[in-house]
Amino acid sequence: MATHTVVLTVALRITDNEARSALEAVRVKMGVGEVVGLAREDVWSLEVDAPGADEAREAVARLVEGTNLFANPNKHRHSLDDQPLAPDEVAVLVSDRESGQAVSMLEAVRRSGDRSVVAARRCARWRIRLRNPPSPQQPGLLDLIRSIAVAEGRTEGLLANPHSQTVTAVLPWGDENPLVT
């Protein structure tokens, strides 16, 4: 049996007050007027032992829909499909360098009776909607994203702590750029 990676995206159906508060801080307190929207999602990368990719995906779908481990159907929506960025969006992936969350989730999956999931990794994906679509030739784009994402002081950065988290910028044309490793 082979191991297949299945990506699960989970977001709130209800208003995300954390994202609303972060947007207010970025726009007003940090003065970054180029940002017109901010949304937060959890992205799980699940390694699944299954005969094929379709079976791995079906196993994750059964797990997500049969338990409340990853998503509460009353307040979350989830997707097993790729969630591409809109042309006017950039994303920031934030993950803890050391966290027991993945191990804890794997133990919970095991308690549910599922043995096909062999590894789980989680990151937060912040989707940042910009006033104007970014382009590969845009000067200072990564500096702008870093100034929004990486907390360097009381007035710069908001979404990630560089001392305990890794941060990657994802651009709509597919480039991924580490901001903090």
67-81, 91-105, 167-181, range with the lowest pLDDT: 91-105
Residue 63 burial (CB count, 10 A): 21
Quote the radius of gyration of the chain (alpha carbons, Å): 17
- The residue among 169, 70, 158, 161 whose CA lies nearest residue 121 is 70
Q: State residue 155's pLDDT score.
A: 79
- The predicted-structure confidence for 88-114, as pLDDT tens digits, reads as follows 999 999 999 877 777 889 899 999 999
Mean pLDDT over residues 1-19, rounded? 96
- The predicted-structure confidence for 52-64, as pLDDT tens digits, reads as follows 999 999 999 999 9
- The predicted-structure confidence for 15-71, as pLDDT tens digits, reads as follows 999 999 999 999 999 999 999 999 999 999 999 999 999 999 999 999 999 999 999
Q: State residue 26's pLDDT score.
A: 95
| Segment (H or E) for 162 | none
Q: What is the largest CA-CA distance in the chain?
A: 53
Helices within the chain (DSSP H only): 17-24, 53-66, 101-111, 141-149
- The residue among 139, 125, 138, 120 whose CA lies nearest residue 170 is 125
Instruction: Please say if the pLDDT value at position 3 is more than 80.
Output: yes
Q: State residue 100's pLDDT score.
A: 75
Q: State residue 145's pLDDT score.
A: 97
Q: State residue 102's pLDDT score.
A: 77
Instruction: Please say if the pLDDT value at position 1 is more than 90.
Output: no
Classified as helix, coil or strand, 27 is: helix
